[in-house]
Structure 1
Amino acid sequence: MKDKSLEYESASSNGEASNKTLDLSELNGLIGFLIRFVQLNLFQAFFERFQLSGLSPGEYSTLVAAQANPGANQGEIAAALMIKRSNMTKLVNGLESRKLISRSVTKEDKRAVKLNVTPKGRQLIDAIASDIVEHDHATVSALSVHERHMLLGLLGKIADQYRGVQS
C-alpha cells in the first residue's frame, strides 16, 4: 500500500463532519483488517448502486443460491452463505413478502423449509445480472484483469481453507 494511513469521515462532537487521517499502519499489515475494510466499502457501493432493486448483498446472494440449487432448504443455504439462522429467517421473510421467494415444507422432514425463487424473483435476478457483473468489475477497477483473477484465486483458496476443502 502506498499510504499506510486511511482517511475517514467522522462526526465531531457537535455533529458536523470532519476529515481526519489516522495512522493505521499496524492494522494495514493484517489481512483480516483489510478484507473487512474492503468488504464494508463493497457493501456500501452495492447499496448505493442497487438501492432501487431493494436488495441487500445477503438477499441477492440468497436469491442466486436458491435459484442455482433447486430443492435446497433454508438451513443449507444459510450455512453455505454463513448467515445466522435468525438473520436468515428475517431475510427470507422479507424476500417472501416481496414475492421474490416462496417456501415449502418437504415431505421427508416437516422441519426443513425449501426455498423456491418465484418468477418475479427470477425476473429481478435476470434484470440486474449484467449490472452485478459490471459493478463487481468496477469495485476492483484498480486491478488489472490478471490481478483480479489472482485475487479471486487467492480469496478462493482462503475460503476453501475455512470450508475444510483440501487443495
Structure 2
Amino acid sequence: MTQPAAPESWQPRWLSEPEQRAWRSYLRATRLLEVALDKALSPHGTQLSEYEVISMLSEAEEGRLRMSALADLVVQSRSRITHTAARLEKRGWVVREACLDDRRGVELVLTDAGREAVEEISARHVESVRVALIDHLDPEEFLALGRAMQKVRDALAEEGQATDAYGT
C-alpha cells in the first residue's frame, strides 16, 4: 500500500527526548529478545519463526491451518511461510495437504513427530521467555506491556489478520 504524498505544509511530529529514548530502547530490546529466544532454541536445531509455526499448529483444531491464515497469524509473508514450511517438512514435523473445506487451498498439518517436537521444545522456549523477558518486569509491567502491544497489533493489523488461534 502506497502512502499518499504529504502536503507541502506537512511537518513531521518529531519525537521528544524521552520518546526517542523509549523508542530506541524498544527497538534494541525487541531485537535482543528475538536473538535470545533463537539462541535458546538452537540446541533443538530450530529457530523462533519455526517454533512459532509448529506451536500455532499444535493449538489449532486438528493441528492444521490454511497456509495463508498461518502466515497472517505468525506475521510472515506468503513466500516466507512457504520456505519455513519446506524446512519443517524436511524434518518430518509438518505436511502440506489440500484444504478440507474447499480443496483449492493448502493447509499445513502438524505430524506426530511435529507434535513431539513441540512438546519437547516448549519447556525450553517458555523458560527462555521467562529468563529473557518476564523475569525483568513486575507482573503489572508485563501485563501492561501485553495490553499496549495488543493496541498496536489491533491498530496495524488488516481486517481479519488480528486474530489468533482462539479467534481473539
Q: State the TM-score bracket (shorter-chain normalisation).
A: 0.7 to 0.9
Kindly provide the amino acid, as one letter, of the partner of residue 146 in structure 2.
L
Alignment correspondent of 1:3: none
Distance 1:35 1:26, change over 3 A: closer
Provide the C-alpha distance between the structure 1 equivalents of 2:39 and 2:99, rounded to a whole number of angstroms: 37
Contact 1:101 1:117 in 2 (8 A): yes
Matched, 1:44 2:35: yes
Q: Which of these residues, 118, 126, 131, is aligned with residue 111 of structure 2?
A: 118
Alignment pair present for 1:60 and 2:51? yes
Distance 1:47 1:118, change over 3 A: same
Aligned positions of 1:18-167 closer than 5 A: 27-30=20-23, 33-70=24-61, 71-106=64-99, 108-140=101-133, 141-163=135-157
Q: Deviation at 1:49?
A: 1.2
**Per-residue deviation, 1:149:** 1.7
Counterparts of 2:104 and 2:29 in 1: how far apart (Å)?
37
Query: How far, CA to CA, are the matches of 2:98 and 2:142 in structure 1?
Result: 41
Which whole-Å CA distance do the structure 1 matches of 2:154 and 2:117 have between them? 30
3-state DSSP of counterpart to 1:55: coil
Deviations 1:37-68 (A, max 9, x none): 22210121112211111221111111111222
> Whose RCO is larger (CA < 8 A, sep 6+)?
2
TM-score (norm 2): 0.73
- Percentage of identical aligned residues: 21
Q: Secondary structure at the match of 1:72?
A: strand
Q: Take 1:72 and 1:38, find their aligned partners in 2: how far apart are those partners?
A: 31
Closer, same or farther in 2 for the Cα pair 1:139/1:105, shift >3 Å? Answer: same
Residue 27 of structure 1: how far off its partner (Å) = 4.0
> How many Å apart are 1:132 and its aligned residue?
1.7
Structure 2: stretches of 5+ with no match in the other structure: 1-16, 163-168
In the superposition, the TM-score normalised over structure 1's length comes to 0.73
Where in structure 1 are there 5+ consecutive unaligned residues?
1-23
Tell me, in whole angstroms, the C-alpha distance in 1 between the residues paired with 2:154 and 2:55. 20
Residue identity matched to 2:72: A
